Amino acid sequence: MRKSRLALIVLALMLAVVVAACAQPTPEVVKETVVVKETVVVEVEKVVEKEATVVVEKVVEKVVTPTPEPGRQTLIVALAGAPVSLDPADHRNRTTETVIRNMFDGLVTRDTRSGVHLELAESMEWLNDTTLEVKLRKGVKFHDGQEMTADDVVFTFERIITENAIEYPEPHSSPRKGLIAPLKSVEKVDDYTVQMFFSGPWPVANQMLVHQQIVPKHYLEEVGTKGFVEHPIGTGPFKFVEAQLDDKIVMERFDDYYGGAPDLEPVGPACVQRAIFRVIPEASTRVAALLAGEVDIIQDVPPELVETLQQTPGIVVKTAPGTRPKWVELNVNKPPFDDVRVRQALNYAVDKDLIVEELYGGRAVPLPGPLSPFNNFVNKNLKPYPYDPDKALAMLAEAGWTDSDGDGILDKDGQPFSFVMDTTAPIRSLAEAVAGQLRDLGIDVSVRVWEYSVVKPLLLNGERMAFARDWGDSAFDPVGHFEAKWHSRVEGSPYGRGNFSGYSNPRVDELIKLGETEIDREKRQAIYDEAQQIVYDEAPAIFLILPEEAEAASERVKNWEPASDSRINLHDVCLE
Amino acid sequence: MTQEPLLELRNLTTVFPTRRGEVRAVESVNLSLAPGEVLGLVGESGCGKSTVLLSIMRLIRRPGHIAEGEIRFQGRDLRALSEGEMRRVRGREIAMIFQDPLSTLNPAFRVGDQIRESLRLHHIVDGRWPWPLDMGARRREKERVIQLMEEVGIPSPDARYKAYPHEFSGGMQQRALIAIALACEPRLILADEPTTALDVTIQAQILDLMKRINERRGTGIILVTHDLGVAAEFCHRIAVMYAGRIVEMGSVDEVIESPQHPYTQGLLDCIPRLGRERQPLSPIPGNVPDLATLPPGCSFAPRCPLARPVCESGPIPMVRLARDRRSRCLRHVDFAREQGWTWGTEYEISNQ
Amino acid sequence: MTTTPAPTSSWARARHLWGLRWRMMRRNWSEFAHQMRKHPLAIIAAVVILLYILAAIFAPAITVHDPTRGSLRTRFEPPFWMEGGSTEFLLGTDDQGRDILTRIIYGARVSLLVGVIAVGVSVLVGLTLGALAGFYRGRFDTIVSRAADLLLAFPFLIFAIGVMAFLGPGFGNLILALTFKGWVEFFRLVRGEMMAEKTKEYVEAARVSGMGKVAIITREILPNIMQAVFVLATLRMGYMIIMEASLSFLGLGIQPPTPAWGSMVASGRDYLLTAWWVSTFPGLAIVGLVLAINLFGEGLRDVLDPRLKIE
Amino acid sequence: MRAIKVLERILATIPIMFGVAIMVFIFMRLTPGDPVDIMMGAGGAVGAGEIEQLRAEFHLDEPIHIQLWYFLRDAARGDLGNSYIKKRPTMELIAERLPATIELALGALFFALIIAFPIGILSAVKQNSWLDRFSMAGAFLGISMPAFWLGIVLILIFSVKLRWLPVQGRISYDVNLQEITGLYVVDSILTRNWPALKDALRHLILPSIALGAAVAAIVARVLRSSMLETLRADYVTLARAKGAPEHRVVLRHALRNALIPTVTVIGLQVGVLLGGNMIVETVFGWPGLGRLVVDAIFNRDFPLVQASVMVYAFTFVIANLIVDILYTYLNPKITL
């Protein structure tokens, strides 16, 4: 007993010593910067910022943390998912892009809707159908102060299109290759000019280039991919500070920022001093964090909470038309879904309006077909499959599915109509709702929740029956979307990379190919109209709904708009 | 009685409420012990001997409690003391030695420390300094402990100081217990069957260790034992208890030589004694009565060879046959009546 | 028992022993019933358990709703005592508009079934291995004991989660995952008891009477161990049920739409801010059942296992 | 002498750990589904050449026993492979998360003991008092309550209704703290970052309760019963007879001996703490090992699951080892 008491005392003493050792609290310093920030005008502000940062550095080496900075300096955004990487070339994930695009700029960028604007590019011009000449903005600096030049651009794109160009952790090709498939090669003309050569005409080049960000050649060559992902450097409005991908990404304002796309106000360095992305997967927790004032902006507000939040004082909810159409893909190669009548019947059997009303509180629209109604090339003549259970039953009966043994479950030559509907956690509720409605029809559906990365290979191998999820068309163009979902699968190519229904129709394939290279808008529209019509009729999926992107923020957040592509652009956002 | 007795019990009664009614484990016991005297409290197990001791220490565990009576120790009534004051008496002025040394020593602590604890508790070796600055006091305490261990005959005490109880032999353990009791040089030691758990040779050693203590320091001792033999060779006076009552009391020789109460008689018949080889040993028939359901009259009557119907009728008073010679038997009551002796206290008849 | 004069033929002896034990067991039973009366809580608990069982069996008769179907129109109905609530859905509805009470009642089926089967299998395996290991000792004993020690190196839930992760969700796998480690406790208990009982006289008696080893184990020793096993089984039952719930909560157990308490609680998590009842009541059901089982188990132990072999 | 015994005991755990490793490996390999497919699923479109490369990378093309050999060899080196999904060394990932888990486990243990000891001791001293009955009933409830549900109820009451405590996480999103040990409470003390300390503690309370409740219940019950025993022991009477004040009698003489069985039970509870943290971390969005494992399981991120499960098992074994050693110091009679 005495021993332990002694030990305790010693411990206490040691602790005391340690604590005493790291003295030097810093609050007043920080307070200062606050005052200054409030009063001083922009020019001076920079100076002050420098002071502030210096202070921070001093603090760090003293192993004393600054007391939490007042909210007005730090903007905190709650993400619904964790980014998978900070390498613009090594992911295929929207959240990741959301984070990355605040540290990296692309040749072009997109506003909160579908407009594309020049960013790092000063001008882009088609020399001919297949050659795009890009003139770069001069004097753009990477976060390490080096200027961005044609070399970086060339490097960036070659890194994406070359096989196994990414060496860490094990050599592999960029998953983003598919987003710029037609690109054959890139060449430097002079320090500020590059030419991109495509395999054929590529009308959507602008929309697609938005999804590629420029990385620094010199830095990557120096530290390699490993070093790069640990401390990425770009030309974006914020520079990397620290990150634990599944927890938080801390960024600091890049003071030498060239200002961003000139025709997107405001131009100039970012407004906030610090920006932090926090990963909060549980929707309710995200909301709670916002209510508690722990975060300023939250992604993916669950529909059933939008009401509540709107009524909450101090909270602003904004929505944008979504770009993530949701559907249940049906394995067209396996009975019973190999019968088009069955697939159509299921489309008739689901009451989309009810789902929109009850599940999404009206914040969604039924899908008119394979494309989102907001897509630039949606087929205006298509109307969503109406809810008509009787017709559905009739069609099923026609296909041989009736409840002959009266057990409430449809059956065909002895086999009950039952299958498992796979889905992923975020839309479990939707999947179960659909399953419920099918059950009412007499189909025995159970729902299984998977992790996307696990179920994806199974789906591509056609091992599953049905899969409920979404596929983004953030480019508002069929490209990047249509060929992924409805083109027959071509191993190792972007075609059919997301084709989970095993759907294959030569005509559609042909149309997709045509559409990609057709420049004339009218013709293009015609092409896609036909393609959509076919897919609509053959119904390889139950076309469900397109929910709005709902984001919420505290009132203090100014000049913030949720973007349709669900990217959060913090460049313009201010806090007061 | 010239000087004031060290300890005096006046019809001490201790009761234990149980489901089957109130058990009067000790029933109006009157005792007195002169300083330096050794009293033997004898009786079969379960007759309430130990309870008497625990009552004196006021260590009866709830819900048992002392119902009535006085415990006069050096003139003051222990029952009147506050718990705090009583604590200062325990160990300091009255110490206790228990029956089973192994279970009585705390297995988790070193023997030496356990002896030392008594010293600390009563600040025998005075170290006013707070821990951990009381080095001096602790050193002196330790010296004292080792001295004590020598005194009770624990060989190589320095080594044994650090030993744990289970590393001691039974005898050593008992010696350690005695050392604990002696630590504060109490005026009175209550020994509860100190030798029962030990084998005969050790018994002897322990007994004369205690004898020496008694002689050297004049410590009063109450020795509880079921073994008349032990009592005989060790005590000055003997009180025989039966079913919570004292049935006979007197000096050793008188009680052993001319036992008055049939129960005492019976006890004596159970032990082999010199000069009586030819007599067969005769155990007392029957066994100790259930204290919860005692007969109204003499509780020994059911087993008593001389019992008469009247014995069962009503409570039997204690008869003071001679100075400091008492017995609780109807025969003596009759005798006293014939002699026309007078009632002393409510329960006592005597001839002054 | 050994005091009774040994009949001549070995089989007569065996029959004789049987008779004795049979009488003993009958006595034990009446005694047991008597003893049990001293534990009113345990009795109440037993009644509660019975109620759960009945509810599970007669679920369709008790409730008018379908556990797997609901209408989105009746989404998030609050419990009847809150405003907006109706007596149609006593405990409200979940995100699919399904009646929570109904789902709880049907959920009892899963929990009870898993509990009983998982424990049952555990007992079976543990008992057999334990009996053999304890009686024959030797290499077999060493091997099985080592295996048991190894399993004990994993915390139960982590082990179960691991197994589920590999096997994928589903009822059978659930049972497997739970029993995979569940048998160890029983193995150790039985083995220990076996080695203790083995030395007792009545076993000797049986042996001299020429009984086969198997007979001795099954007819002589086991009956004397069963009480302890039974107590342990009851006490483990509650634990197993919690484990099943935990796995389902993590989405590794029973899959939707089959109602399981654990997954019901989990599905309610997303709606804590708007509909607290979705995850609260299923959890309450778990607590109720497990509490009852544990209380009953404690009572059993006090009565059947006074030596407190089980802690 | 004792030191040697301790050493022996330590060495004795090595074969167990070895067995654990083999067991985990076997399980991993029994699993259906081709790891490489899964990695591809995470990665996206790849060339066929790459797949072969990966097979080689993970020795998937070699016979099982060779794979086992590689596995054990690397494991001995503390290299448990790269995460399929996160594409980083598993040990790195685990190391990142471990502090959080440890902090939570310690928090829970602390809570459990803080609760269990007073209750266990008092209800033994005041046996059959209302306090005794009440707290024992509570203990029973604690044992019968699933951690995840308790956690949710706590959130409902203290976070959603009363808004007293945060819903989830280790520290508020707007507090920034210099990490040193990774245990936020410790770090904030070391850096004298009091707001952060307050915040970290506020976050720690509910999860600790949710995780610690069951442990508290069990420990309280055991402590009570063993206190009841020791309080009846002769040495306690002797202590009283020595004139020791009641608190000393109870807290030194009785408790010291009652601790011996209690410590053993606490050791067993470490398993509950480890297993429970998967649940509790999920409920409270605690960025610890438990959550990492659960995610890894759903991602079929085998190397990560494998590594984490082993880390868990090892932690458990080591914890019990520590308890055993502690035990020998508590109980002079035992020497392992």
In this predicted model, which residue has the larger pLDDT, D251 or C169? Answer: D251
The residue segments making up the domain with residue D232 are 90-330
Per-residue model confidence (pLDDT) at position B345: 62
Specify if A282 maps to a domain: no
Chain C residues in contact with A435 by the CB 8 A cut-off are 257
For residue D113, being part of any structural domain is answered with yes
Residue A106: per-residue pLDDT: 93
Asked if residue B284 is part of any domain, the answer here is no
Q: Is the pLDDT assigned to residue C27 strictly greater than 80?
A: no
D residues 209..248 contacting C (CB < 8 A): 222
The number of CA neighbours under 13 Å toward the Cβ of A420 is 13
The vertex-A376 CA angle with A374 and A380, nearest 5°, equals 70
A205 and A331, same domain (yes or no): no
Using pLDDT thresholds of 50, 70 and 90, give the confidence band for residue C6.
very low
Interface residue of D1, D235, D251, D335 to substitute, partner B, most B CBs within 10 Å: D235
Q: What is the pLDDT of residue A333?
A: 92
Q: The CATH number of the domain where A101 resides is what?
A: 3.90.76.10
pLDDT beyond 60 at B71: yes
User: Nearest CA to A449 among D290, C279, C109, C168?
Assistant: C168
Q: What is the pLDDT of residue A2?
A: 41
Chains in contact with A, where contact requires at least 3 CB pairs less than 8 Å apart: B, C, D
Higher-pLDDT residue of A301 and D175 is A301
With cut-offs at 50, 70 and 90, classify the pLDDT of residue D40.
low
Query: Is the model more confident about D9 or about C13?
Result: D9
pLDDT digits (tens, 9 = 90+) for D241-276: 888 888 899 998 999 889 988 988 888 888 888 888
Residue A136: pLDDT band by 50, 70, 90 thresholds? very high
pLDDT value, residue A204: 85
The pLDDT tens digits of the residues spanning B274-292 come to 665 666 667 777 777 777 7
The count of structural domains within chain D is 1
Is A436's Cβ below 8 Å from some Cβ in C? Answer: yes
- Answer yes or no: is D38 within a domain: no
Where is average pLDDT lowest: A314-328, A515-529, C41-55, D44-58?
D44-58
Residue with tokens 């209302």: D130
Classified as helix, coil or strand, C186 is helix
Partner chains of B (3+ C-beta pairs under 8 Å): A, D
Asked if C197 contacts C224 with a C-beta cutoff of 8 angstroms, the reply is yes
d(CA B201, CA B281): 23
D contact chains, 3+ CB pairs < 8 A: A, B, C
pLDDT at residue A280 is higher than 50: yes
CA angle C265, C268, C269 (to 5 degrees): 95
- What torsion, rounded to 10 degrees, do the Cα atoms D321, D323, D329, D330 define? -160
Instruction: Report residue A44's pLDDT band, with 50, 70 and 90 as the boundaries.
Output: very low
pLDDT at D32: 57
- Is the domain of B218 the same as that of B268? no
> Is the pLDDT score of D169 beyond 50?
yes
Which stretches within A331-401 are classed as H helix?
Answer: 340-349, 352-354, 389-398
- Assign residue D33 a region (left: φ > 0; alpha: ψ between -120 and 50; beta: otherwise): left
Query: Are residue A531 and residue A480 in the same domain, yes or no?
Result: yes
Q: What is the pLDDT of residue A368?
A: 92
Tokens 């821990």 appear where?
B131
Candidates B106, B166, B178, B196: best to mutate against D (most CBs of D within 10 A) is B106
Q: Residue D102 domain-assigned?
A: yes
For residue B111, the enclosing domain spans: 7-242
The predicted-structure confidence for A354-401, as pLDDT tens digits, reads as follows 999 988 888 899 999 999 998 889 999 999 999 999 999 999 999 999
pLDDT for the residue A367: 93
pTM of the model: 0.81
- Does the domain spanning C38-310 belong to CATH 1.10.3720.10? yes
- Whether B212 and B249 map to the same domain: the answer is no
Euclidean distance between CA atoms C155 and D309, whole angstroms: 10
Taking CA atoms, what residue in D is nearest to C251? D298
The CA distance from D250 to the nearest CA of chain B, in Å, is 13
Q: What pLDDT, in 10s, does the model give residues D217-247?
A: 999 999 999 999 899 888 999 999 888 888 8
Q: Are residues A97 and A207 in the same domain?
A: yes
Q: Which helix (H) or strand (E) holds C222?
A: helix C222-249
Mean pLDDT, rounded, of chain B: 84
Torsion sign, CA atoms D276, D282, D288, D294? positive
For residues B15 and B45, membership in a common domain is answered with yes
Among positive and negative, which fits the CA dihedral B212, B218, B219, B222? Answer: positive
Domains of chain A: total: 3
Q: Name every chain D residue with its beta carbon within 8 A of the beta carbon of A64.
A: 178, 191-193
State chain D's mean pLDDT as an integer.
83
pLDDT at residue A153, rounded to an integer = 94
Q: Are residues B210 and B338 in the same domain?
A: no
With 60 as the cut, is the pLDDT of residue B91 above it?
yes
In a domain, A194, yes or no: yes
The reply to whether residue D38 touches residue A246, judged by beta carbons under 8 angstroms, is no
pLDDT of residue C23 exceeding 80: no
Candidates C30, C4, C28; CA nearest to C17 is C4
> Does A94 lie in the same domain as A53?
no
Residues B41 and B149 in one domain: yes
Domain of A123? 88-237
Residue C253 has pLDDT above 90, yes or no: no
Structural domain total, chain B: 2
What's the CA dihedral at B334, B340, B346, B351 to 10 degrees? -110
Interface contact A287, partner C, CB < 8 A = yes
Q: Is the pLDDT of residue B106 over 60?
A: yes
Let me know whether B220 and B265 are in one domain: no
A351 and A489 part of one domain:
yes
Q: Using an 8 Å Cβ cutoff, are B17 and B199 in contact?
A: no
Q: Measured between beta carbons, which residues in chain B are less than 8 angstroms from residue D243?
A: 87-92, 118, 121-122
**Across residues A81-109, what is the average pLDDT?**
90
The pLDDT tens digits for D101-112 are 999 999 999 999
Give the three-class secondary structure for C115. helix
Same domain? B63 vs B209? yes
Shared-domain flag, residues B81 and B98: yes
Q: What is the mean pLDDT of residues D133-154?
A: 92
**Above pLDDT 90, what percent of chain B?**
9
Identify all chain B residues contacting A8, using CB atoms and an 8 Å cutoff.
Answer: none
For position A377, which CATH number holds? 3.10.105.10
Instruction: Say yes or no to pLDDT of A34 above 60.
Output: no
Mean pLDDT of the A130-152 span:
93
Average pLDDT over residues A59-77: 50
Strand order in the sheet with A297-298: A238-244, A248-253, A274-279, A74-79, A297-298, A549-554, A315-320
pLDDT beyond 60 at A111? yes
Q: Please provide residue D112's backbone torsions phi and psi, each rounded to the nearest 5 degrees.
A: -55, -50
Q: How far is A6 from chain B (nearest CA, A)?
A: 9
Contacting residues for B106 by C-beta, under 8 A, at least 6 apart: B114, B165, D235, D238, D239, D253, D256, D257
Cα D153 from chain centroid (whole Å): 22
Q: With contact defined as beta carbons under 8 Å apart, do A298 and A312 qualify?
A: no
Q: Please give the average per-residue pLDDT across B149-162, as a whole number.
A: 87
Instruction: Please report, as a single letter, which amino acid is at residue A411.
Output: D
B178 and B214 share a domain?
A: yes
Q: From CA A460, how far away is CA C234, in angstroms rounded? A: 47
A418: enclosing H helix or E strand = strand A418-424
Say yes or no: A364 and A431 in one domain.
yes
Residue B278: CB partners within 8 Å, gap ≥ 6?
Answer: none
- Residue B291 falls within a domain, yes or no? no
* A108's tokens: 């072009």
Task: Give the residue-averaged pLDDT of A480-494.
Answer: 86
- Can you give the pLDDT at residue A37? 34
